[in-house]
């Protein structure tokens, strides 16, 4: 059985005072959970996360990384820098990075490799837009996005986490039904299976389409949904913990 994983993506939210309260609330409720959990914070707050979470069962990570190891890349953050703060996870290829910053699947793959090379776990995001779903292109889009990463990570596929985030369900109030989500998760699992059957059984595939306390239990009851990449609900300790409890 794959252990469930619940990861909070704070996006561009937070300040030191609010973070302290949120982290304290999460730590207080996370002890004893059968599921793994983590928070991915904006880079300026990684030191705060490290200080607050080091003695807790809650891991921490970053929301993006440069594909470059270092050098003259103003504003970028190298994987080694994130590892310096003991990050466990790094999100790569989030739909907002693809849409707002023009990130290609090939760049996302290079970022995933950079994360692996630095000893951390990439959370590789894939997902289709509403137009792509309505055009019947869901399978082709997510397969292409994941395939680019699998081509580069090679035998290290067992060391990644995959997150399916239907773009049309993020922040819109819409959510894929559990059956709709499971269908795509099963496809992604089959794609992993074709590359490495052993790894496919252990790689966690998270659902990232507006998972909330009221739908988390039903979503995570699906056989190929191994947890959630949580956006808005991750900014409230009670909501995040409710989702974590649903994963137990």
State residue 168's pLDDT score: 87
pLDDT tens column, 93-127: 999 999 999 999 999 999 999 999 999 999 999 99
Question: Does 155 score more than 90 pLDDT?
Answer: yes
Count other C-beta atoms under 10 Å from residue 8's C-beta. Answer: 29
Distance CA 106, CA 151 (A): 10
* Alpha-carbon distances of 102 from 98, 108, 132, rounded to whole Å: 5, 11, 17
* Catalytic residue chosen out of the listed positions 94, 96, 103, 185: 94
Distance CA 88, CA 36 (A): 12
pLDDT tens column, 56-92: 999 999 999 999 999 999 999 999 999 999 999 999 9
Catalytic (active site) residue 165: yes
* Catalytic residue chosen out of the listed positions 96, 128, 165, 185: 165
The 3-state secondary structure of 130-160, one letter per residue: HHHHHCCCHHHHHHHHHHHHHHHHHHHHHHC
State residue 169's pLDDT score: 82
pLDDT tens column, 1-54: 799 999 999 999 999 999 999 999 999 999 999 999 999 999 999 999 999 999
State residue 210's pLDDT score: 85
Contact 173, 215 (CB under 8 A): no
Pull the structure tokens for residue 41. Answer: 């914070």
Contact 246, 231 (CB under 8 A): no
State the pLDDT confidence band at 151, using cuts at 50, 70 and 90: very high
State residue 201's pLDDT score: 96
Burial class (CB in 10 A: 0-12, 13-18, 19+), 177: exposed
State the pLDDT confidence band at 176, using cuts at 50, 70 and 90: confident
State residue 99's pLDDT score: 95
Catalytic (active site) residue 106: no
């Amino acid at each position: 059985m794959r252990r469930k994983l619940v990861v909070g993506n704070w996006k561009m939210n937070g300040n030191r005072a609010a973070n302290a309260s949120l982290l304290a609330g999460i730590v207080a409720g996370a002890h004893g959970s059968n599921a793994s959990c983590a928070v991915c914070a904006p880079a300026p707050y990684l030191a705060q996360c490290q200080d607050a979470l080091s003695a807790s069962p809650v891991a921490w990570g970053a929301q993006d990384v440069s594909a470059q190891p270092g050098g003259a890349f103003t504003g970028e953050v190298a994987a080694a820098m994130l590892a310096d703060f003991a990050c466990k996870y790094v999100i790569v290829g989030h739909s907002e990075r693809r849409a707002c910053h023009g990130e290609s699947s090939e760049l996302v793959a290079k970022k995933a490799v950079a994360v692996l090379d630095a000893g951390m776990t990439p959370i590789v995001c894939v997902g289709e837009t509403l137009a792509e779903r309505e055009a019947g292109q869901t399978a082709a889009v997510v397969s292409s996005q994941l395939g680019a990463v699998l081509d580069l990570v090679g035998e290290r596929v067992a060391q990644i986490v995959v997150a399916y985030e239907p773009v049309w369900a993020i922040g819109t109030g819409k959510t894929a039904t559990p059956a709709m989500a499971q269908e795509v998760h099963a496809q992604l699992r089959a794609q992993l299976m074709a590359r490495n059957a052993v790894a496919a059984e252990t790689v966690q595939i998270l659902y990232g389409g507006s998972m909330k306390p009221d739908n988390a239990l039903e979503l995570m009851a699906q056989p190929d949904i191994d947890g959630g990449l949580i956006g808005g609900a991750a900014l409230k300790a009670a909501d995040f913990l409710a989702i974590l409890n649903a994963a137990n």
